[in-house]
Every structure is written in C-alpha cells, then in structure tokens.
Structure 1
Amino acid sequence: MTVYGVGLGPGDADLVTVRGKRVLEDADVVYSPGRLSKSVVTDHVPESRVGDLDFPMTRDPEELREAWRDAASEVAPRARDGDVAFATLGDPNVYSTFGHLRRTLDAFHPDVDVETVPGVSAVSAFTTALGVEVDAGAGLALREASQGASPTGPDRMVLFKVTDAPATHEGLVDAGYDVTYGRRLFMEQGDTTVTSDPGEIAERDYYTLAYAERQSLQKDRPTAFDDVDRSGDGAEDGVVSGD
C-alpha cells in the first residue's frame, strides 16, 4: 500500500484539490503535523480516522531526527496494511514537513511506497491575495526569512516564515526593495492581513510571508501596448496606411 503526502492548500478547506480530498476520504488513517492542518483535515474526514504524531518544538537536530524516526515507525506498519495520508498545509514539496517523513521512510522503510498529491502552495495564495502577476519570463525566488533575516539578490522574492517583520523590512528596504506582507492568507483560523507596514504585523506569527521586489526593476509594457494607436491618425506603430 501507500503513504500519500497530501497538500491541503493555504488553510481554507475549500482550497483542497479534488484529488487531495479523494485521497483523504479513502485513506485508512490520516496524519497531520499541526493544529491548523488537522483542522482542515477534519473538514473532510472524521476525527476517528485522524492519527496522532508527536513533533517536539525544538531546533535540536538529534531530537528532530529521533522524532521523524518515531513518526516513520508509526506510519510504515499502517502503510503496509492499507493507505495512509500525511497532510500538510500548502504543497508537500514546498517548504513542507512532509519532506522529512519521505526521506526517513526512504532510509529506514524502503519497502513503503510514497506518492505526493500536490496542493495550492503559499506562493500561489500570496500572489493571488496581493494581485501580483509573475509574468512569462520573470524570475521569482523563494527564500526563508525567519528571525529577522533579510535575504537579498533576486529581483523578485517570496519570503516564508517572516517571524520578525520589522527587522526583515529594514534589511530589505536598505537593499532597495519594496515589500508587501501577507499573514494567514486564505486561512480559516486567525485574521488575514495584507500590509506594507511591518509595524502592523510586528507580533511573531509563523504564517507570515512577504513579497519583495526591487525598486529599480524595469517592467515590460502590456502585451498589446505596441498595437495601440497613439498617433491619432488611425495607424498602428510602424504601419503607414494607404488611401
């Protein structure tokens, strides 16, 4: 049988994909790594089919490795007898805890099949909420900005885990970026905030992102711009009309 990594999307139960919903409903047991993801899961499956895994709040690498080994030891036997879902917010392969479980299963339980069901990532939710268009040919980098970090370099960045917005903001502005923040976008828990003022979101919240764009960035004109008649004589640019 199979362990499915299921992307739940940004946090609204209505944004789970059709396939993700089907996998959740069909799985013999569904695990989730946190309260928010569990609240989305229980909109689709009864709590009686939701399993418990213990993940300590620590940065100690050995404690974390032990926790993931324990999680894999819990999940693997269930997957040998049936289908198991491990559900995370966003997409399972984008800044997700599912990667830890997948690698641990590969290392210690290689006989267990693992599949990924994509979800709406926080990047997509963020650009939608802000009305940001990442047009064809544009570069977009993903960076982590926890504890006040201010990564720089790319012209456009989406920053995850902005837990100290004022400190991050100061570094980005000094480096020549315009910055917009989004907190708890498309989530059913907590207040959604979109702002350019880091003071509005100074309180630490793991579910805060930022979009940073260089102030000097040259943007392309609209696709149809060169076809618009700006001369007033009814001719398109570079085209001379005859009688």
Structure 2
Amino acid sequence: MAATDRAGLGAPCWVSLLTGDLTAAQNFYGAVMGWTFRKGSLGEGFAVALKDGKPAAGMGDVATRMGVPVSWTCYFAIDDADLVSSRVRERGGTVAVGPLAVGKGRVVLAADPAGAVFGFWQGENLPGWRIGGGEAPAWLELRTRDAFAMAMFYGEIFDWAVDRPDRCEVRYEDEAVTVRAGGSTVACIRGGAIEADPDPRIRPRWHVYFRVDDVEKAVESALGAGGAVVSEPSHTMVGREATLRDPQGGLFTVTEGSSC
C-alpha cells in the first residue's frame, strides 16, 4: 500500500494474504491466478502480486509471527487511524494490531463484533487499484450472522451512507447489504454465518472474490498446486464460481461474474 492515489474514504483500498510461507504462496497463486510477483515496499517477507504487470494484491509472510490463521484480509481507506480505532472499540469490535507506521501511512488490523478480521489504512494508495477493476478482486463479501447489525457497525466506523461524494453509499437489495463507491458495487454483507460452525465457509469473515476467465481451469490448477476445493464449481446469480483453499489454509473464490 504505497503510491499516489486516494481511494474514496471508507472504500476498500487493498487486499493482502497473511501467509506463513511466502514462496509457497507465490507458487500456488502464480499457478492458479497467473500472477507474477515483485518485492513489496515493506521489505523481506512481503510481495506484491501482479496481473498483466499491474498490482492485484499483496502478500506478507507474517501469519506465524502474528499468531493468526492464514487468510485473505481486506483494508479500507480512512483519514484518521486513531479515530477509527476508537470507533471500533466503542462499538464492540477489537483492535488487534496498530495503528502502526508503515511507509508513509498507518495501518490497523481489527475484528468486528462478530469476529470477522479486517484492516484499515491511513495514507496514499496504489493509483488505479479499485475493486472490480481489471487487476483487483472482483468484489468482497462479509459473511456474518446479522447483516443489518454489521452494516450499522461498518457504516458508523467508516461513515458510510453520509451525504458526501467521497463516501460509500449503502443499499439493501437482493437480500444483502451492498456497498457502493464511485457508482460501482465494491462489497456485499450477507447474513446467516455462524461463528462456532466448524465449516470455515460460514464463519464470520470477509471473503475475497477473484475474477478468472475459466473457473474449471482455475480449479484444476489449484488442485495441481496442492490446494483444495471447498465449494465445487456452480452457477450463481452473478456467474460461475468455485471456492478454493490454498495449501496453507487461505480461502478465496474464483468467479466469472462481474459483481456481487
């Protein structure tokens, strides 16, 4: 997360894989997503995944050191890390890490009241990177117990739905809460997940959807690279998709759809 552009405040501005083995993660996602990699600006143990030469996502070899599961984490753009951290605590969430000074910005890792982990970033963002763009993820989805309650939580900490052009707007449609920025849907919040359920697909968490040209080919590549299929390829309202697990446990969905 470094460069010269500002995302709309409260909007997703980056996704990063917290992994335990950076080389293994690069090998897997290179095979499945066709990504190449360059060294990240944060030093050894960090990398930026590139699609067609443009940044798609980040990776950090930090899961073991931080004592957290391997997972994809989404970050939201904010202008005051201290203020948003206070809002998280006041509304029943947890600030796990930060605010930490990173490069020319500040980063925080937190969890919402239902336990879903997310991050937020105060600083400049990669120019041109946006959810739904050609290189970035297709969209993000919060799978949680009570979509309305979590929409209220995130709306209050990120100032969603305020009457300002630089903020996200929130709508309820198709039995989900959708978050829009710049006229495009960037995230969905869906209810029904159960925190204690042994199936990791339905524990409260932010989930990343990556667009691919061919879901079956991506599934085949994932299996060949040591991953697993959590949800078999199927047709949904937005297109064909499958949920996969990388060899270290990171969950993500590949989709041929364009929006949630």
The verdict on a shared fold, with TM-score over 0.5 as the criterion, is no
Q: Scaled by the length of structure 2, what TM-score is found?
A: 0.28
Task: Specify which structure has the higher proportion of strand.
Answer: 2
Q: Scaled by the length of structure 1, what TM-score is found?
A: 0.29
- Bigger CA radius of gyration: 1
